[in-house]
Homo-oligomer: A and B are copies of this chain.
Protein backbone atom coordinates (compact mmCIF):
# COMPACT_ATOMS: atom_id res chain seq x y z
CA UNK A 1 0.00 0.00 0.00
CA UNK A 2 1.39 3.40 -0.94
CA UNK A 3 1.67 6.34 1.44
CA UNK A 4 -1.58 7.89 0.20
CA UNK A 5 -3.56 4.73 0.86
CA UNK A 6 -1.99 4.30 4.30
CA UNK A 7 -3.07 7.86 5.09
CA UNK A 8 -6.65 7.41 3.88
CA UNK A 9 -6.97 4.15 5.83
CA UNK A 10 -5.60 5.87 8.93
CA UNK A 11 -8.10 8.71 8.54
CA UNK A 12 -11.03 6.29 8.27
CA UNK A 13 -9.73 4.24 11.19
CA UNK A 14 -9.53 7.51 13.14
CA UNK A 15 -13.23 8.23 12.45
CA UNK A 16 -12.62 10.86 9.81
CA UNK A 17 -15.29 9.93 7.27
CA UNK A 18 -15.70 13.00 5.10
CA UNK A 19 -13.11 14.69 2.91
CA UNK A 20 -13.91 18.07 1.39
CA UNK A 21 -11.62 18.37 -1.61
CA UNK A 22 -10.24 20.63 -4.28
CA UNK A 23 -7.36 18.50 -5.50
CA UNK A 24 -4.66 19.00 -8.09
CA UNK A 25 -1.88 16.96 -9.63
CA UNK A 26 0.11 16.56 -6.43
CA UNK A 27 -2.93 15.03 -4.71
CA UNK A 28 -3.84 12.51 -7.41
CA UNK A 29 -2.57 9.47 -5.52
CA UNK A 30 -4.58 10.51 -2.48
CA UNK A 31 -7.68 10.89 -4.69
CA UNK A 32 -7.18 7.45 -6.22
CA UNK A 33 -6.66 5.93 -2.78
CA UNK A 34 -10.10 7.23 -1.74
CA UNK A 35 -11.60 4.63 -4.07
CA UNK A 36 -9.63 1.79 -2.57
CA UNK A 37 -10.89 2.49 0.95
CA UNK A 38 -14.48 2.19 2.12
CA UNK A 39 -15.94 4.68 4.53
CA UNK A 40 -14.69 8.02 3.20
CA UNK A 41 -17.20 10.36 1.57
CA UNK A 42 -15.63 12.84 -0.86
CA UNK A 43 -17.22 16.22 -1.44
CA UNK A 44 -15.82 18.46 -4.17
CA UNK A 45 -15.72 22.25 -3.84
CA UNK A 46 -14.95 24.51 -6.80
CA UNK A 47 -12.92 26.91 -4.66
CA UNK A 48 -10.96 26.07 -1.54
CA UNK A 49 -12.98 28.49 0.56
CA UNK A 50 -15.92 26.11 0.06
CA UNK A 51 -13.74 23.24 1.23
CA UNK A 52 -12.48 24.79 4.47
CA UNK A 53 -15.77 26.52 5.33
CA UNK A 54 -17.64 23.25 4.84
CA UNK A 55 -15.17 21.46 7.10
CA UNK A 56 -15.99 24.06 9.77
CA UNK A 57 -19.74 23.52 9.41
CA UNK A 58 -19.32 19.76 9.42
CA UNK A 59 -17.22 19.84 12.59
CA UNK A 60 -19.67 22.06 14.44
CA UNK A 61 -22.55 19.65 13.77
CA UNK A 62 -20.72 16.30 13.82
CA UNK A 63 -18.48 17.19 16.78
CA UNK A 64 -15.56 15.59 14.99
CA UNK A 65 -13.18 16.64 12.25
CA UNK A 66 -13.54 16.26 8.51
CA UNK A 67 -10.47 16.20 6.31
CA UNK A 68 -9.78 18.73 3.60
CA UNK A 69 -7.63 18.11 0.54
CA UNK A 70 -5.87 21.20 -0.83
CA UNK A 71 -3.40 21.84 -3.64
CA UNK A 72 -0.03 23.26 -2.60
CA UNK A 73 0.49 26.72 -1.11
CA UNK A 74 -2.01 28.67 -3.21
CA UNK A 75 -4.73 26.04 -2.63
CA UNK A 76 -4.14 26.35 1.09
CA UNK A 77 -4.03 30.15 0.79
CA UNK A 78 -7.45 30.15 -0.88
CA UNK A 79 -8.81 28.25 2.11
CA UNK A 80 -7.10 30.30 4.83
CA UNK A 81 -9.84 32.86 5.47
CA UNK A 82 -12.32 30.15 6.38
CA UNK A 83 -9.62 28.32 8.35
CA UNK A 84 -9.28 31.55 10.30
CA UNK A 85 -13.03 31.38 10.95
CA UNK A 86 -12.87 27.67 11.80
CA UNK A 87 -9.96 28.24 14.17
CA UNK A 88 -11.86 30.98 15.97
CA UNK A 89 -14.84 28.60 16.25
CA UNK A 90 -12.42 26.01 17.63
CA UNK A 91 -13.67 23.55 15.05
CA UNK A 92 -11.47 20.50 14.62
CA UNK A 93 -10.18 20.26 11.04
CA UNK A 94 -7.57 17.96 9.46
CA UNK A 95 -6.07 19.63 6.39
CA UNK A 96 -4.09 17.57 3.90
CA UNK A 97 -2.08 19.87 1.65
CA UNK A 98 -0.25 18.30 -1.26
CA UNK A 99 3.20 19.54 -2.15
CA UNK A 100 5.75 18.87 -4.84
CA UNK A 101 7.75 15.67 -4.49
CA UNK A 102 10.53 16.25 -1.95
CA UNK A 103 13.27 16.05 -4.58
CA UNK A 104 11.40 18.45 -6.92
CA UNK A 105 11.07 21.37 -4.51
CA UNK A 106 14.60 22.66 -5.03
CA UNK A 107 13.82 23.39 -8.71
CA UNK A 108 11.40 26.13 -7.70
CA UNK A 109 8.73 25.15 -10.26
CA UNK A 110 5.94 27.73 -10.66
CA UNK A 111 3.66 26.39 -7.92
CA UNK A 112 6.44 26.17 -5.33
CA UNK A 113 5.91 28.24 -2.20
CA UNK A 114 6.59 28.17 1.52
CA UNK A 115 3.54 26.14 2.49
CA UNK A 116 4.55 25.87 6.14
CA UNK A 117 5.00 29.63 6.26
CA UNK A 118 1.52 30.16 4.87
CA UNK A 119 -0.06 27.66 7.24
CA UNK A 120 1.71 28.65 10.45
CA UNK A 121 -0.24 31.81 11.38
CA UNK A 122 -3.64 30.07 11.27
CA UNK A 123 -2.93 26.44 12.19
CA UNK A 124 -2.57 25.03 15.69
CA UNK A 125 -0.63 21.98 14.49
CA UNK A 126 1.56 21.72 11.42
CA UNK A 127 3.82 19.03 10.00
CA UNK A 128 5.36 18.09 6.65
CA UNK A 129 5.63 14.35 6.13
CA UNK A 130 9.25 13.44 5.38
CA UNK A 131 8.57 10.12 3.61
CA UNK A 132 5.90 7.61 2.70
CA UNK A 133 6.49 5.30 5.67
CA UNK A 134 5.84 8.19 8.06
CA UNK A 135 2.67 9.53 6.42
CA UNK A 136 0.17 7.37 8.27
CA UNK A 137 1.63 8.17 11.70
CA UNK A 138 1.64 11.87 10.80
CA UNK A 139 -2.00 11.60 9.75
CA UNK A 140 -2.91 9.94 13.03
CA UNK A 141 -1.07 12.69 14.92
CA UNK A 142 -3.01 15.28 12.91
CA UNK A 143 -6.33 13.71 13.91
CA UNK A 144 -5.34 13.68 17.57
CA UNK A 145 -4.20 17.30 17.32
CA UNK A 146 -7.46 18.36 15.67
CA UNK A 147 -9.43 16.64 18.43
CA UNK A 148 -7.44 18.19 21.24
CA UNK A 149 -9.78 20.39 23.26
CA UNK A 150 -11.38 22.69 22.35
CA UNK A 151 -10.69 21.73 18.73
CA UNK A 152 -7.72 22.64 16.57
CA UNK A 153 -6.74 23.26 12.98
CA UNK A 154 -4.21 20.56 12.10
CA UNK A 155 -2.38 20.72 8.79
CA UNK A 156 -0.37 17.91 7.28
CA UNK A 157 1.71 18.69 4.20
CA UNK A 158 2.03 15.70 1.93
CA UNK A 159 4.83 15.82 -0.68
CA UNK A 160 3.78 13.89 -3.78
CA UNK A 161 6.42 11.19 -3.40
CA UNK A 162 5.35 10.48 0.17
CA UNK A 163 1.95 9.67 -1.35
CA UNK A 164 3.15 7.47 -4.20
CA UNK A 165 6.03 5.62 -2.53
CA UNK A 166 5.42 2.47 -0.52
CA UNK A 167 3.86 3.37 2.85
CA UNK A 168 3.96 1.86 6.28
CA UNK A 169 0.39 0.67 6.80
CA UNK A 170 -2.35 2.05 9.01
CA UNK A 171 -1.18 3.96 12.08
CA UNK A 172 -3.00 3.90 15.42
CA UNK A 173 -4.47 7.10 16.83
CA UNK A 174 -2.31 8.55 19.61
CA UNK A 175 -4.16 9.43 22.81
CA UNK A 176 -6.11 12.69 22.74
CA UNK A 177 -5.36 14.77 25.86
CA UNK A 178 -8.36 15.03 28.22
CA UNK A 179 -9.90 18.42 28.91
CA UNK A 180 -8.33 19.92 31.99
CA UNK A 181 -10.60 20.40 34.99
CA UNK A 182 -10.57 23.78 36.68
CA UNK A 183 -9.31 24.14 40.25
CA UNK A 184 -11.74 24.08 43.21
CA UNK A 185 -10.66 27.58 44.19
CA UNK A 186 -11.77 28.90 40.80
CA UNK A 187 -15.24 27.38 41.20
CA UNK A 188 -15.47 28.67 44.77
CA UNK A 189 -14.53 32.18 43.67
CA UNK A 190 -17.16 32.14 40.92
CA UNK A 191 -19.75 30.94 43.43
CA UNK A 192 -18.81 33.71 45.83
CA UNK A 193 -19.22 36.28 43.07
CA UNK A 194 -22.62 34.98 42.05
CA UNK A 195 -23.87 34.92 45.64
CA UNK A 196 -22.60 38.41 46.40
CA UNK A 197 -25.95 39.91 45.50
CA UNK A 198 -24.40 42.39 43.09
CA UNK A 199 -25.34 42.70 39.40
CA UNK A 200 -23.54 39.82 37.65
CA UNK A 201 -23.56 38.03 34.33
CA UNK A 202 -22.45 34.57 33.33
CA UNK A 203 -20.95 34.91 29.84
CA UNK A 204 -21.23 31.68 27.89
CA UNK A 205 -20.03 30.11 24.68
CA UNK A 206 -18.92 26.71 23.35
CA UNK A 207 -20.27 23.76 25.39
CA UNK A 208 -21.99 26.25 27.75
CA UNK A 209 -24.61 27.13 25.13
CA UNK A 210 -25.47 23.54 24.23
CA UNK A 211 -27.12 20.57 25.90
CA UNK A 212 -26.08 19.91 29.48
CA UNK A 213 -23.88 23.00 29.72
CA UNK A 214 -26.78 25.26 28.81
CA UNK A 215 -29.13 23.42 31.17
CA UNK A 216 -26.63 23.88 34.02
CA UNK A 217 -26.24 27.56 33.23
CA UNK A 218 -30.02 27.88 33.33
CA UNK A 219 -30.18 26.26 36.75
CA UNK A 220 -27.43 28.50 38.08
CA UNK A 221 -29.36 31.52 36.82
CA UNK A 222 -32.56 30.27 38.42
CA UNK A 223 -30.79 29.75 41.75
CA UNK A 224 -28.72 32.94 41.86
CA UNK A 225 -30.43 35.47 39.61
CA UNK A 226 -27.27 35.84 37.53
CA UNK A 227 -27.92 37.11 34.04
CA UNK A 228 -27.09 34.67 31.24
CA UNK A 229 -25.33 36.17 28.26
CA UNK A 230 -23.62 34.66 25.27
CA UNK A 231 -20.78 36.06 23.22
CA UNK A 232 -21.67 38.23 20.24
CA UNK A 233 -20.72 35.25 18.05
CA UNK A 234 -20.91 31.59 18.98
CA UNK A 235 -20.07 28.44 17.06
CA UNK A 236 -23.40 26.77 17.87
CA UNK A 237 -26.18 27.72 20.25
CA UNK A 238 -29.06 25.36 20.99
CA UNK A 239 -32.12 27.52 21.41
CA UNK A 240 -35.83 28.03 20.81
CA UNK A 241 -38.70 26.34 22.62
CA UNK A 242 -37.63 24.13 25.52
CA UNK A 243 -34.11 25.57 25.70
CA UNK A 244 -32.69 28.03 28.20
CA UNK A 245 -32.79 31.44 26.46
CA UNK A 246 -29.55 33.40 26.32
CA UNK A 247 -29.15 36.96 25.16
CA UNK A 248 -26.13 37.80 23.02
CA UNK A 249 -23.94 40.87 23.45
CA UNK A 250 -24.73 43.13 20.48
CA UNK A 251 -22.12 43.75 17.78
CA UNK A 252 -22.32 47.58 17.77
CA UNK A 253 -20.33 49.13 20.59
CA UNK A 254 -22.94 51.53 22.00
CA UNK A 255 -25.73 48.95 22.56
CA UNK A 256 -23.13 46.53 23.95
CA UNK A 257 -21.92 49.14 26.45
CA UNK A 258 -25.53 49.89 27.39
CA UNK A 259 -26.27 46.21 27.97
CA UNK A 260 -23.29 45.74 30.27
CA UNK A 261 -23.10 49.12 31.99
CA UNK A 262 -24.57 48.12 35.38
CA UNK A 263 -22.60 44.89 35.82
CA UNK A 264 -20.32 44.52 38.83
CA UNK A 265 -19.18 40.98 37.95
CA UNK A 266 -18.79 38.90 34.85
CA UNK A 267 -18.04 35.19 35.11
CA UNK A 268 -16.65 33.62 31.94
CA UNK A 269 -17.70 30.07 31.05
CA UNK A 270 -15.78 29.26 27.89
CA UNK A 271 -16.19 32.84 26.76
CA UNK A 272 -13.60 35.56 26.37
CA UNK A 273 -14.00 38.93 28.08
CA UNK A 274 -16.04 41.02 25.66
CA UNK A 275 -14.20 43.52 23.47
CA UNK A 276 -15.24 45.64 20.52
CA UNK A 277 -15.04 43.86 17.17
CA UNK A 278 -13.19 46.88 15.79
CA UNK A 279 -11.64 49.91 17.43
CA UNK A 280 -13.33 53.24 16.80
CA UNK A 281 -11.98 56.69 17.63
CA UNK A 282 -13.45 57.81 20.97
CA UNK A 283 -15.02 54.44 21.81
CA UNK A 284 -13.53 51.94 24.26
CA UNK A 285 -12.06 48.59 23.20
CA UNK A 286 -13.23 46.88 26.38
CA UNK A 287 -16.99 46.53 26.70
CA UNK A 288 -17.31 45.81 30.42
CA UNK A 289 -17.65 48.88 32.66
CA UNK A 290 -14.74 50.08 34.81
CA UNK A 291 -14.49 48.00 37.98
CA UNK A 292 -16.23 44.98 36.46
CA UNK A 293 -13.28 42.64 36.14
CA UNK A 294 -14.07 39.34 34.42
CA UNK A 295 -13.61 36.15 36.49
CA UNK A 296 -12.58 33.15 34.42
CA UNK A 297 -14.59 30.10 35.51
CA UNK A 298 -13.32 27.95 32.66
CA UNK A 299 -11.40 28.62 29.50
CA UNK A 300 -12.71 27.00 26.35
CA UNK A 301 -9.92 24.41 26.33
CA UNK A 302 -10.85 23.35 29.87
CA UNK A 303 -13.83 21.21 30.88
CA UNK A 304 -16.48 23.94 30.81
CA UNK A 305 -19.44 21.64 31.49
CA UNK A 306 -17.75 20.08 34.51
CA UNK A 307 -16.97 23.56 35.82
CA UNK A 308 -20.61 24.59 35.42
CA UNK A 309 -21.76 21.40 37.19
CA UNK A 310 -19.48 22.11 40.13
CA UNK A 311 -20.58 25.75 40.17
CA UNK A 312 -24.21 24.60 40.20
CA UNK A 313 -23.42 22.41 43.19
CA UNK A 314 -21.62 25.25 44.92
CA UNK A 315 -24.54 27.64 44.58
CA UNK A 316 -27.12 24.96 45.43
CA UNK A 317 -28.59 24.85 41.92
CA UNK A 318 -28.56 21.09 41.51
CA UNK A 319 -32.29 20.46 41.74
CA UNK A 320 -33.96 23.64 40.61
CA UNK A 321 -35.27 23.52 37.06
CA UNK A 322 -33.95 25.99 34.53
CA UNK A 323 -36.34 28.47 32.97
CA UNK A 324 -36.74 27.56 29.32
CA UNK A 325 -38.39 29.35 26.43
CA UNK A 326 -41.99 28.47 25.64
CA UNK A 327 -43.10 27.51 22.15
CA UNK A 328 -44.54 30.84 21.13
CA UNK A 329 -43.26 31.92 17.74
CA UNK A 330 -44.29 35.27 16.30
CA UNK A 331 -47.43 35.31 14.18
CA UNK A 332 -46.80 35.22 10.45
CA UNK A 333 -47.03 38.80 9.23
CA UNK A 334 -48.25 39.90 5.83
CA UNK A 335 -47.56 42.78 3.46
CA UNK A 336 -44.34 44.66 2.82
CA UNK A 337 -40.90 43.23 3.51
CA UNK A 338 -38.80 45.00 6.08
CA UNK A 339 -36.34 43.77 8.66
CA UNK A 340 -39.08 43.52 11.31
CA UNK A 341 -41.60 41.62 9.16
CA UNK A 342 -38.84 39.41 7.82
CA UNK A 343 -37.68 38.50 11.32
CA UNK A 344 -41.24 37.70 12.39
CA UNK A 345 -41.80 35.55 9.32
CA UNK A 346 -38.56 33.70 9.96
CA UNK A 347 -39.54 33.15 13.60
CA UNK A 348 -42.98 31.89 12.56
CA UNK A 349 -41.79 29.51 9.86
CA UNK A 350 -38.57 28.10 11.30
CA UNK A 351 -38.99 24.31 11.17
CA UNK A 352 -38.28 22.00 14.09
CA UNK A 353 -34.61 21.06 14.54
CA UNK A 354 -33.49 23.48 11.89
CA UNK A 355 -29.81 24.31 11.67
CA UNK A 356 -29.67 28.06 11.16
CA UNK A 357 -26.46 29.47 9.67
CA UNK A 358 -26.51 33.20 10.28
CA UNK A 359 -24.41 35.45 8.06
CA UNK A 360 -27.20 37.93 7.51
CA UNK A 361 -25.10 40.80 8.94
CA UNK A 362 -27.12 44.02 8.99
CA UNK A 363 -30.27 42.44 7.53
CA UNK A 364 -30.50 40.04 10.44
CA UNK A 365 -29.84 42.19 13.48
CA UNK A 366 -33.24 41.30 14.99
CA UNK A 367 -33.58 37.72 13.70
CA UNK A 368 -32.08 36.30 16.88
CA UNK A 369 -34.58 38.01 19.14
CA UNK A 370 -37.54 37.10 16.95
CA UNK A 371 -36.68 33.38 16.90
CA UNK A 372 -36.26 33.03 20.66
CA UNK A 373 -39.55 31.19 21.09
CA UNK A 374 -39.58 29.43 17.75
CA UNK A 375 -39.36 25.67 17.33
CA UNK A 376 -36.10 24.30 18.76
CA UNK A 377 -33.11 24.84 16.51
CA UNK A 378 -29.32 25.36 16.40
CA UNK A 379 -27.85 28.76 15.55
CA UNK A 380 -24.38 28.91 13.93
CA UNK A 381 -22.42 32.12 13.47
CA UNK A 382 -19.24 33.36 11.87
CA UNK A 383 -16.64 33.27 14.64
CA UNK A 384 -13.73 34.90 12.86
CA UNK A 385 -15.42 37.80 11.15
CA UNK A 386 -14.08 36.96 7.70
CA UNK A 387 -17.30 37.21 5.73
CA UNK A 388 -18.12 34.65 3.08
CA UNK A 389 -18.51 31.73 5.46
CA UNK A 390 -22.29 31.30 5.38
CA UNK A 391 -22.81 29.26 2.22
CA UNK A 392 -19.93 26.82 2.86
CA UNK A 393 -20.78 26.52 6.56
CA UNK A 394 -24.34 25.53 5.62
CA UNK A 395 -22.92 23.07 3.10
CA UNK A 396 -20.82 21.30 5.72
CA UNK A 397 -23.60 21.32 8.30
CA UNK A 398 -25.92 19.65 5.79
CA UNK A 399 -23.33 16.97 5.03
CA UNK A 400 -23.10 16.25 8.77
CA UNK A 401 -26.87 16.24 9.35
CA UNK A 402 -28.66 14.99 6.23
CA UNK A 403 -31.96 14.60 8.10
CA UNK A 404 -32.20 18.17 9.39
CA UNK A 405 -33.26 21.24 7.44
CA UNK A 406 -30.45 23.76 7.07
CA UNK A 407 -31.45 27.41 6.73
CA UNK A 408 -28.71 29.74 5.53
CA UNK A 409 -29.32 33.41 6.29
CA UNK A 410 -26.95 35.05 3.85
CA UNK A 411 -26.39 38.60 2.69
CA UNK A 412 -25.52 39.66 -0.84
CA UNK A 413 -22.12 41.12 -0.03
CA UNK A 414 -21.00 38.16 2.09
CA UNK A 415 -22.54 35.61 -0.23
CA UNK A 416 -20.48 36.79 -3.20
CA UNK A 417 -17.24 35.74 -1.49
CA UNK A 418 -18.19 32.10 -1.82
CA UNK A 419 -21.16 31.59 -4.11
CA UNK A 420 -19.41 28.48 -5.48
CA UNK A 421 -20.74 26.58 -2.45
CA UNK A 422 -24.14 26.46 -4.14
CA UNK A 423 -22.75 24.09 -6.77
CA UNK A 424 -21.56 21.67 -4.10
CA UNK A 425 -24.99 21.83 -2.47
CA UNK A 426 -26.58 20.91 -5.80
CA UNK A 427 -24.14 18.11 -6.55
CA UNK A 428 -24.59 16.55 -3.13
CA UNK A 429 -28.35 17.16 -3.00
CA UNK A 430 -28.03 18.93 0.34
CA UNK A 431 -31.14 20.19 2.12
CA UNK A 432 -30.07 23.81 2.40
CA UNK A 433 -32.56 26.63 1.96
CA UNK A 434 -30.64 29.84 1.43
CA UNK A 435 -32.46 33.05 2.28
CA UNK A 436 -30.38 35.60 0.42
CA UNK A 437 -30.99 39.15 1.61
CA UNK A 438 -30.24 41.45 -1.28
CA UNK A 439 -29.89 45.05 -0.20
CA UNK A 440 -27.43 45.81 -3.01
CA UNK A 441 -24.80 47.13 -0.67
CA UNK A 442 -22.11 46.34 1.84
CA UNK A 443 -24.63 47.80 4.29
CA UNK A 444 -22.44 47.01 7.27
CA UNK A 445 -19.78 49.33 5.89
CA UNK A 446 -22.25 52.17 5.51
CA UNK A 447 -22.83 51.90 9.27
CA UNK A 448 -19.13 51.55 9.98
CA UNK A 449 -18.26 54.59 7.92
CA UNK A 450 -20.07 56.77 10.43
CA UNK A 451 -18.81 54.77 13.42
CA UNK A 452 -15.14 55.28 12.57
CA UNK A 453 -15.71 59.01 12.28
CA UNK A 454 -15.14 59.13 8.53
CA UNK A 455 -17.24 62.17 7.77
CA UNK A 456 -18.76 63.30 4.48
CA UNK A 457 -17.95 60.35 2.24
CA UNK A 458 -17.83 61.31 -1.42
CA UNK A 459 -18.97 59.43 -4.50
CA UNK A 460 -15.88 57.22 -4.75
CA UNK A 461 -16.18 56.12 -1.14
CA UNK A 462 -19.89 55.45 -1.40
CA UNK A 463 -19.29 53.47 -4.60
CA UNK A 464 -16.97 51.12 -2.74
CA UNK A 465 -19.88 50.14 -0.45
CA UNK A 466 -22.49 49.83 -3.18
CA UNK A 467 -23.24 46.51 -4.88
CA UNK A 468 -25.66 47.92 -7.42
CA UNK A 469 -24.47 48.91 -10.92
CA UNK A 470 -24.90 46.17 -12.02
CA UNK A 471 -27.46 44.58 -9.71
CA UNK A 472 -26.71 41.01 -8.80
CA UNK A 473 -29.38 38.51 -9.79
CA UNK A 474 -29.02 35.73 -7.25
CA UNK A 475 -31.73 33.53 -8.72
CA UNK A 476 -29.79 33.45 -11.96
CA UNK A 477 -26.48 32.85 -10.18
CA UNK A 478 -28.01 29.94 -8.28
CA UNK A 479 -29.58 28.42 -11.39
CA UNK A 480 -26.24 28.72 -13.17
CA UNK A 481 -24.92 26.31 -10.53
CA UNK A 482 -27.91 23.98 -10.61
CA UNK A 483 -29.77 25.39 -7.60
CA UNK A 484 -33.43 26.30 -8.15
CA UNK A 485 -34.80 29.44 -6.58
CA UNK A 486 -37.06 32.43 -6.75
CA UNK A 487 -37.10 36.14 -5.96
CA UNK A 488 -39.56 37.54 -3.40
CA UNK A 489 -40.58 41.10 -2.77
CA UNK A 490 -43.20 40.90 0.01
CA UNK A 491 -43.82 38.78 3.10
CA UNK A 492 -46.44 36.60 1.48
CA UNK A 493 -44.10 35.69 -1.35
CA UNK A 494 -41.35 35.17 1.21
CA UNK A 495 -43.46 32.71 3.18
CA UNK A 496 -44.39 30.77 0.06
CA UNK A 497 -40.81 30.79 -1.23
CA UNK A 498 -39.38 29.69 2.13
CA UNK A 499 -41.98 26.90 2.26
CA UNK A 500 -41.06 25.76 -1.23
CA UNK A 501 -37.42 25.78 -0.24
CA UNK A 502 -38.09 23.57 2.78
CA UNK A 503 -40.20 21.17 0.73
CA UNK A 504 -37.88 20.97 -2.28
CA UNK A 505 -35.42 18.09 -2.01
CA UNK A 506 -31.87 19.41 -2.26
CA UNK A 507 -30.89 23.07 -2.16
CA UNK A 508 -33.10 26.07 -2.90
CA UNK A 509 -32.44 29.81 -2.87
CA UNK A 510 -34.92 32.54 -2.00
CA UNK A 511 -33.66 35.97 -3.00
CA UNK A 512 -35.25 38.44 -0.62
CA UNK A 513 -35.30 41.94 -2.07
CA UNK A 514 -34.80 44.59 0.61
Interface centre among A113, A114, A413 (most CB of B within 10 A): A113
Q: A484: shortest Cβ distance to chain B, in Å?
A: 10
**Mask of A439-452 contacts with B, CB within 8 angstroms, 1/0:** 00000110011011
For A47, give the chain B residue with the smallest CB separation: B417
Bound-complex Cα distance A489 to B214 (A): 59
Bound-complex Cα distance A291 to B43 (A): 47
- With a cutoff of 8 Å between Cβ atoms, the chain B residues found around residue A285 in the complex are 103-104, 107, 109
**Mask of A450-485 contacts with B, CB within 8 angstroms, 1/0:** 011111111111011101011111111101111000
The answer to whether A279 and B80 touch across the interface, beta carbons within 8 angstroms, is no
User: Does any Cβ of B come within 8 Å of A32's Cβ?
Assistant: yes
Which listed residue, B28, B160, B458, touches A36 by the CB 8 Å rule?
Answer: B458
The answer to whether B25 and A281 touch across the interface, beta carbons within 8 angstroms, is no
Known A107-B286, A473-B479: A460·B35 in contact at CB below 8 Å? yes
- With a cutoff of 8 Å between Cβ atoms, the chain B residues found around residue A272 in the complex are 108
Q: Size class of A's contact patch?
A: 35 or more
Which listed residue, B36, B74, B109, touches A386 by the CB 8 Å rule?
Answer: B74
Task: Kindly list the 6 A-B residue pairs having the minimum CB-CB distance in the complex, ordered from nearest.
Answer: A470-B482, A35-B458, A74-B386, A104-B279, A476-B480, A477-B480
Given contacts A26-B278, A34-B458, A101-B279, 8 further A-B contacts (CB under 8 A): A74-B81, A100-B278, A111-B386, A118-B118, A416-B420, A426-B470, A473-B481, A477-B477
Point out residues on A near B: beta carbons under 8 Å.
21, 23-26, 28-29, 31-32, 34-36, 40, 42, 44, 46-47, 49, 73-75, 77-78, 80-81, 84-85, 88, 100-101, 103-104, 107-111, 113-114, 117-118, 120-122, 160-161, 164, 233, 272, 275-279, 281, 285-286, 383-386, 388, 413, 416-417, 419-420, 423, 426-427, 444-445, 448-449, 451-461, 463-465, 467, 469-477, 479-482
Bound-complex Cα distance A463 to B428 (A): 12
For A475, give the chain B residue with the smallest CB separation: B480
For A454, give the chain B residue with the smallest CB separation: B32
Q: A278: shortest Cβ distance to chain B, in Å?
A: 5
- With a cutoff of 8 Å between Cβ atoms, the chain B residues found around residue A26 in the complex are 278
The answer to whether B481 and A472 touch across the interface, beta carbons within 8 angstroms, is yes
Bound-complex Cα distance A470 to B425 (A): 10
The answer to whether A423 and B470 touch across the interface, beta carbons within 8 angstroms, is yes
Which listed residue, B28, B100, B455, touches A449 by the CB 8 Å rule?
Answer: B28
- With a cutoff of 8 Å between Cβ atoms, the chain B residues found around residue A31 in the complex are 449, 454, 457, 460-461, 464-465
Which listed residue, B278, B448, B457, B480, touches A472 by the CB 8 Å rule?
Answer: B480
The answer to whether A74 and B384 touch across the interface, beta carbons within 8 angstroms, is yes
Bound-complex Cα distance A76 to B221 (A): 43
- With a cutoff of 8 Å between Cβ atoms, the chain B residues found around residue A464 in the complex are 21, 23, 31, 34, 42, 44
